[in-house]
């Protein structure tokens, strides 16, 4: 099947699929979750082999994947996500009668999805982008990630099985293999209506530019990662030095540091720097090297470390050991805030278990740091409540710079729920007004449409009088079921 044919098939499927009820779409997604679960014994070994991730992690990730599928199944079965809004007619209004206007979200059309290397299941073939697009009512053209081709093919087979079993047109999901040229051709195709991407900044930015240059520009939801800074306040650190050192290092090194939310940057007050450095150095000693996702990623990791080793502003607490190129060993360097502020290169994301500890002295320096900070997925503040009392200005600046601001715990471990925001100002994503994790992710693949004076029998159920779906609707400005 060539690219034109697959998009035509997707478009044809779309005009059928978008009319399914939420219950039907939900049932299809539930079938998919069951089928994936029933193929666990085949999927897990493939993913382990292709990603170098341990079996326990992959088993957990499959659970996260099917859990996510069920969340979106429930979301569309319940149905309120369409933001149904009814402004009733007022024929008697002066000077002009008021029309009946009803608004809801409608799916965009065929969506191109690029999976992530670091989540061969949860952010790949049947991952968050694919599932939220399918849940919204959009067919998906999925470009397989070259780092885990067999896993991707197997999961695609499961999706095809679910489609057949549910009696849906095969065009709602297409699995495409190929190089960068194939990915570009997919994004450029006139029938593509949106792009989902999780991966490197270079990759995401290239797709964003390509999509903007089309005759019809389309949105690119690229989640490109960030360094997820942690800001430590003196009293908090003084009281919890060892506990926080442990929390930081375990978040940094989780999955060999291959998470988009792992904290690669930590700001520590000078008064506590020595104690904290000692504690994290000890923690680092306990972390064994482990294989990275694939040799290319390990190579890029060591190249970045080497690049930073040429910078004299950095003092190395631990240098990564490129003994076996597949292994990502941990690394940590220290830098003074004044030096860090001077050059934005120190904000470069290093994908892997490397962190920079920035030592600051004054609150003025802290403000200057935040002003210079790039957009981030997350920022974490470790402070005693009393230390934040007069910090409204700083907190405001921090909010400007991220999609999620944490006051406890660590940024890794992204909860899948209604309030999650996994997306932040550029360059962490190309679409800060969207999230790629949680219920709101579905909204990336829909747009509002207003239906004015549409006959009742033609209206979608979500907008009909009497609310036959029993969903939450905004009627005359108030929420009602």
C-alpha to C-alpha distance for 29 and 33, rounded to whole angstroms: 6
Choose the binding region for a copy of itself from 112-120, 214-222, 224-232, 331-339 (rule: CB under 8 A): 214-222
Stretch that binds a copy of itself, among 101-109, 172-180, 280-288, 295-303 (CB under 8 A): 101-109
Residue 380: beta bridge partners? 230, 406
Q: Does 56 bind a copy of itself (CB under 8 A)?
A: no
Give the 3-state secondary structure of residue 328: strand
Q: Which of residues 359-398 bind a copy of itself (CB under 8 A)?
A: 375, 385, 388, 392-393, 395-397
Query: DSSP for 229-281?
Result: -EEE-HHHHHHHHHHHHHHHHHHHHGGGG--TT---EEEEEHHHHHHHHHHHH
The 3-state DSSP class for residue 87 equals strand
- Region near a copy of itself per CB under 8 A, out of 80-88, 128-136, 287-295, 315-323: 80-88
Applying CB under 8 A, which of residues 403, 412, 442, 469 lies at the interface with a copy of itself?
403
Note whether 291 binds a copy of itself by CB under 8 A. no
Site for a copy of itself in 404-443 (CB under 8 A): 404-409, 413, 415, 417-421, 423, 425-427, 430, 432-433, 435, 439-440
CA distance 68 to 116: 16
Site string for a copy of itself, 295-334 (x = CB under 8 A): ----------------------------------------
- When the beta carbons of 38 and 433 are compared against a copy of itself, the nearer one is 433
245/256 Cα distance (integer angstroms): 17
Q: Which of 138, 260, 277, 283 is catalytic?
A: 260
Give 300: exposed, middle or buried? Use CB within 10 Å, 0-12, 13-18, 19+.
middle
Show the binding pattern over residues 153-192: x = contacts a copy of itself (CB under 8 A), - = does not: ----------------------------------------
Distance between CA atoms of residues 217 and 67, nearest Å? 33
Taking the least distance from each CB to a copy of itself, the nearer of 218 and 273 is: 218
- In the annotation, is 260 catalytic? yes
148 versus 444: smaller Cβ distance to a copy of itself: 444
Distances in whole angstroms, Cα of residue 66 to Cα of each of 32, 70, 132, 175, 283: 8, 6, 13, 19, 34
Quote the least distance from Cβ 151 to a copy of itself, whole Å. 24
Question: Is residue 345 a contact residue for a copy of itself (CB under 8 A)?
Answer: no
State yes or no: is 216 an active-site residue: no
Asked if 258 and 349 touch (Cβ cutoff 8 Å), the reply is no
402 lines the binding site for a copy of itself (CB under 8 A): yes
Q: Do the beta carbons of residue 124 and residue 95 sit within 8 Å? A: no
Active site residues: 223, 260
């Amino acid at each position: 099947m060539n690219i034109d044919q697959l998009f035509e098939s997707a478009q044809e499927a779309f005009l059928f699929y978008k009319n399914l009820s939420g219950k039907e779409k939900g049932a299809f997604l539930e079938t998919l979750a069951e089928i994936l679960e029933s193929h666990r014994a085949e999927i897990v070994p493939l993913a382990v082999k292709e990603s170098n991730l341990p079996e326990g992690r992959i088993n957990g990730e499959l659970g996260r994947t099917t859990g996510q599928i069920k969340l979106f199944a429930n979301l569309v079965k319940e149905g309120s996500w369409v933001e149904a809004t009814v402004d009733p007619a007022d024929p008697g209004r002066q000077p002009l009668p008021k029309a009946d206007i009803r608004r809801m979200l409608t799916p965009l059309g065929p969506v191109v999805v690029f999976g992530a290397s670091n989540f061969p299941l949860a952010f790949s073939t049947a991952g968050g982008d694919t599932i939220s697009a399918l849940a919204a009512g959009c067919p998906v053209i999925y470009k397989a990630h070259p780092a885990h081709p067999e896993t991707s093919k197997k999961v695609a087979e499961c999706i095809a099985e679910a489609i057949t079993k549910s009696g849906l047109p095969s065009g709602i999901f297409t699995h495409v293999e190929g190089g960068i040229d194939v990915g570009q051709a997919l994004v450029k195709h006139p029938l593509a209506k949106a792009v989902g991407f999780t991966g490197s900044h270079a990759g995401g930015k290239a797709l964003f530019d390509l999509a903007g240059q089309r005759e019809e520009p389309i949105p690119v939801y690229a989640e490109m990662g960030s360094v997820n800074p942690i800001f430590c306040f003196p009293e908090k650190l003084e009281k919890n030095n060892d506990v926080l050192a442990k929390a930081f290092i375990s978040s940094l090194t989780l999955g060999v540091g291959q998470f988009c939310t792992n904290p690669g940057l930590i700001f520590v007050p000078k008064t506590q720097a020595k104690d904290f450095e000692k504690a994290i150095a000890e923690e680092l000693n306990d972390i064994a090297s482990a294989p990275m996702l694939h040799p290319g990623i390990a190579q890029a990791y060591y190249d970045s470390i080497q690049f930073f080793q040429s910078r004299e502003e950095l003092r190395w607490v631990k240098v990564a050991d490129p003994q076996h190129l597949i292994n990502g060993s941990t690394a940590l360097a220290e830098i003074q805030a004044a030096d860090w502020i001077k050059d934005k290169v120190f904000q470069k994301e290093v994908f892997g278990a490397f962190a920079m500890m920035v030592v600051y002295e004054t609150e003025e320096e802290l403000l200057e740091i935040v002003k210079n900070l790039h957009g981030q997925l997350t920022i974490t503040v470790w402070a005693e409540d009393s230390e934040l009392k007069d910090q409204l200005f700083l907190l405001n600046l921090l909010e400007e710079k991220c999609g999620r601001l944490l006051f406890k715990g660590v940024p890794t471990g992204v909860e899948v729920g209604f309030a999650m925001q996994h997306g932040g100002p550029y360059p962490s994503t190309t679409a800060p007004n969207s999230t790629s994790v949680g219920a709101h992710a579905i909204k990336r693949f829909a747009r509002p449409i207003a239906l004015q004076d549409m006959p009742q029998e033609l209206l979608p159920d979500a907008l009909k009088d009497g609310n036959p779906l029993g969903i939450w609707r905004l009627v005359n400005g108030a929420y009602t079921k």
